[in-house]
């Protein structure tokens, strides 16, 4: 499908802007993790999310989830999202009307409402989300994903890598950017020795290195066959400098949000690829535009998400299916000890595309969530 995205994204041909919100509810929920999420910009023992329910005028309901303790990546914490939802009159408004008001207050609040409305529209038509977004998409049964290895000692990292490889994951994302560069290098080298050349390795720095550190790290990792290094530094100019000498592809993540930022990266000849997220684009429509811009510029495209619960990850799975992308990051729910839903299935390094209408998530357990609206 990527080749078809140079024109108007298919999603715009079947808009939902005229849908009216008849009812609205929202909850805040804490999702405890089995293992701390640790990387250059995060160290948390639980994920927090805002979950919304949108009821359209015909009584059909849709749901969505947005991560609310990921301000290090999104710039918005829970107070910003909740304040926006409380400040704007929602009931009786159309999705199009809200699209003119909410993004200026909170892009994540707008993302939640917009995504929940799409879920309702798809449920009404008894179609999966990916089919509503792209009617010509190939039938999708499962999407390959990678497993993630956060900060930790060499022994723990190697044990995780071996277990993931044995479980069928053929791509591992290793978080780097700790203050101790030799420790980062040792971890990556040890993981490569442990899993062999058949497993693809990605190093994600989350912008945690200064330029000189990044240049030294790239040189030290040059012989390991790294698939790509993600956001090694923050500044676009430094990305461009690194790419000129790098012995591996350089991807942007935190530096790319929309089609305009794609244009800036391309103008600077800064990257080989981009890691896109719905959270950064704000809505599926904007994400499709961003993918189209990246595709037209010849960039490699990976689709990811914030670590979050199954409700949010199901939407990313449908987006990957609609866009027919080969590089997807759908791992974010795997480490959650108690979730709102129990729908997604991960097997042999792939996530099954949820069956059924809408996002495919069945019942949502809000008994341990706090209703906020």
- Look at residue 368 and tell me if it is in a domain: no
DSSP secondary structure string, 138-199?
A: PP-SEEE--EEE-S--HHHHHHHHHHHHHTT--EEEEE---S-HHHHHHHHHHHHHHH-TTS
- Give the bridge partners for 61, in sequence order: 55
Residue 3 pLDDT class (50, 70, 90 cuts):
very low
- Look at residue 105 and tell me if it is in a domain: yes
Residues 23 and 106 in one domain: yes
Give CA separation, 352 vs 36, 98, 316, 361, in Å: 25, 33, 12, 12
The pLDDT value recorded for residue 296 is 95
Average pLDDT, the chain: 94
Residues 190 and 339 in one domain: yes
277 carries an active-site annotation: yes
Q: Dihedral of CA 320/207/109/99: which sign? A: negative
CATH number reported for the structural domain that contains residue 85 in this entry: 3.30.390.10
Residue 14 pLDDT class (50, 70, 90 cuts):
low
Tokens of 150: 């956060």
pLDDT digits (tens, 9 = 90+) for 262-281: 999 999 999 999 999 999 99
Residues 170 and 195 in one domain: yes
Residues 195 and 248 in one domain: yes
Residues 8 and 39 in one domain: yes
Average pLDDT over residues 226-245: 97
Closest alpha carbon to 251 in 221, 280, 265, 231:
231
Range of the domain at 171: 142-361
Give CA separation, 321 vs 139, 142, 199, 316, 317, in Å: 8, 8, 23, 9, 6
Cβ burial of 197 (10 Å; 0-12, 13-18, 19+) is exposed
Interatomic CA distance for residues 244 and 127, integer angstroms? 46
Task: Using only the alpha carbons of the chain, give its radius of gyration.
Answer: 20
The pLDDT value recorded for residue 13 is 59
Closest alpha carbon to 146 in 228, 68, 246:
228
The pLDDT value recorded for residue 185 is 97
Of 133, 151, 182, the one marking the end of a domain is 133
- Look at residue 247 and tell me if it is in a domain: yes
Tokens of 249: 């592809």
Residues 111 and 229 in one domain: no
- Look at residue 73 and tell me if it is in a domain: yes
Residues 194 and 309 in one domain: yes
Residue 255 pLDDT class (50, 70, 90 cuts):
very high
The pLDDT value recorded for residue 7 is 47
The pLDDT value recorded for residue 40 is 87
Of 85, 100, 133, the one marking the end of a domain is 133
Please name the helix (run of DSSP H) or strand (run of DSSP E) that holds residue 55, with its range, or none.
strand 42-56
The pLDDT value recorded for residue 282 is 93
Q: Phi and psi for 126 in degrees, rounded to 5? A: 55, 40
Average pLDDT over residues 241-250: 95
Give every strand in the sheet of 21-39, ordered side by side: 61-67, 42-56, 21-39, 370-371
CATH number reported for the structural domain that contains residue 202 in this entry: 3.20.20.120
Average pLDDT over residues 180-200: 97
> CA 156, 173, 343 angle in degrees (round to 5)?
95
The pLDDT value recorded for residue 284 is 94
Coil/strand/helix, residue 322: helix
Q: State percent of the chain over pLDDT 70.
A: 96
- Look at residue 371 and tell me if it is in a domain: no
pLDDT digits (tens, 9 = 90+) for 27-50: 999 999 999 999 988 899 999 999
- Look at residue 372 and tell me if it is in a domain: no
Statement: residue 289 has pLDDT above 70: yes
Residue 124 pLDDT class (50, 70, 90 cuts):
very high
The pLDDT value recorded for residue 343 is 94
Residues 227 and 313 in one domain: yes
pLDDT digits (tens, 9 = 90+) for 152-169: 999 999 999 999 999 999
The answer to whether the CB of 164 falls within 8 A of the CB of 41 is no
Interatomic CA distance for residues 48 and 32, integer angstroms? 8
- Look at residue 221 and tell me if it is in a domain: yes
Of 109, 133, 157, the one marking the end of a domain is 133
Interatomic CA distance for residues 250 and 232, integer angstroms? 8
pLDDT digits (tens, 9 = 90+) for 18-27: 999 999 999 9
In the chain, where does DSSP find H-type helix? 71-74, 78-87, 95-99, 107-124, 129-133, 154-166, 181-195, 211-220, 236-245, 259-267, 278-281, 284-296, 310-323
The answer to whether the CB of 225 falls within 8 A of the CB of 199 is no
Residues 210 and 306 in one domain: yes
309 contacts: CB under 8 Å, gap ≥ 6: 29, 31, 47, 49, 65, 333, 336, 339, 340, 341
Statement: residue 6 has pLDDT above 80: no
280 carries an active-site annotation: no
pLDDT digits (tens, 9 = 90+) for 71-85: 988 999 999 999 999
Residues 231 and 351 in one domain: yes
DSSP secondary structure string, 59-79?
A: S-EEEEEEESS-HHHHS--HH
Q: Which residue out of 91, 173, 244, 280 is catalytically annotated?
A: 173
Residues 234 and 89 in one domain: no
- Look at residue 80 and tell me if it is in a domain: yes
Number of domains in the chain: 2
Q: Which residue out of 14, 91, 244, 277 is catalytically annotated?
A: 277
Residues 208 and 277 in one domain: yes
Give CA separation, 265 vs 7, 251, 293, in Å: 20, 10, 11
């Amino acid at each position: 499908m990527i080749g078809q995205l140079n024109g108007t994204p298919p999603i715009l041909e079947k808009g939902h802007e005229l849908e009216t919100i008849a009812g609205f509810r929202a909850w805040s929920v804490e999702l405890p993790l089995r293992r701390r999420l640790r990387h250059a910009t995060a160290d948390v023992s639980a994920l927090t999310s805002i979950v919304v329910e949108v009821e359209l005028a015909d009584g059909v309901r849709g749901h969505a989830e947005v991560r609310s303790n990921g301000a290090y990546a999104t710039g918005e914490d829970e107070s910003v999202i909740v304040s926006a939802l409380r400040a704007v009159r929602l009931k009786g408004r159309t999705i199009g009307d809200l699209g003119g008001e909410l993004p200026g207050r909170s892009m994540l609040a707008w993302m939640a409402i917009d995504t929940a409305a799409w879920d309702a529209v798809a449920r009404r038509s008894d179609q999966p989300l990916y089919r509503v977004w792209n009617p010509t998409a190939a039938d999708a049964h499962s999407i390959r994903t990678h497993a993630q290895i956060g900060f930790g000692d060499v022994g723990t990292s190697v044990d995780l890598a071996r277990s993931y490889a044995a479980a069928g994951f053929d791509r591992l994302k290793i978080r780097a950017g700790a203050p101790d560069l030799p420790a980062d290098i040792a971890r990556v080298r040890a993981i490569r020795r442990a899993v062999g050349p058949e497993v693809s390795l990605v190093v994600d720095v989350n912008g945690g290195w200064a330029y000189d550190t990044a240049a030294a790290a790239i040189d030290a990792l040059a012989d390991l066959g790294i698939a790509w290094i993600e956001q090694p530094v923050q500044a676009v100019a430094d990305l461009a400098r690194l790419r000129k000498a790098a012995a591996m592809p350089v991807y942007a993540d935190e530096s790319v949000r929309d089609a305009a930022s794609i244009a800036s990266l391309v103008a600077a000849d800064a990257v080989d690829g981009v890691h896109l997220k719905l959270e950064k684009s704000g809505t599926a429509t904007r994400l499709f535009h961003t993918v189209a811009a990246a595709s037209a510029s010849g960039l490699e495209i990976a689709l990811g998400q914030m670590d979050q619960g199954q409700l949010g990850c199901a939407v990313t799975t449908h987006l990957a299916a609609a866009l027919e992308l080969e590089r997807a990051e759908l791992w974010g729910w795997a480490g959650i000890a108690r979730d709102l839903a129990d729908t997604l299935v991960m097997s042999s390094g792939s996530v099954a595309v949820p069956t059924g209408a809408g996002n495919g998530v069945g019942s949502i357990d809000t008994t341990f969530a706090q209703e906020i609206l």
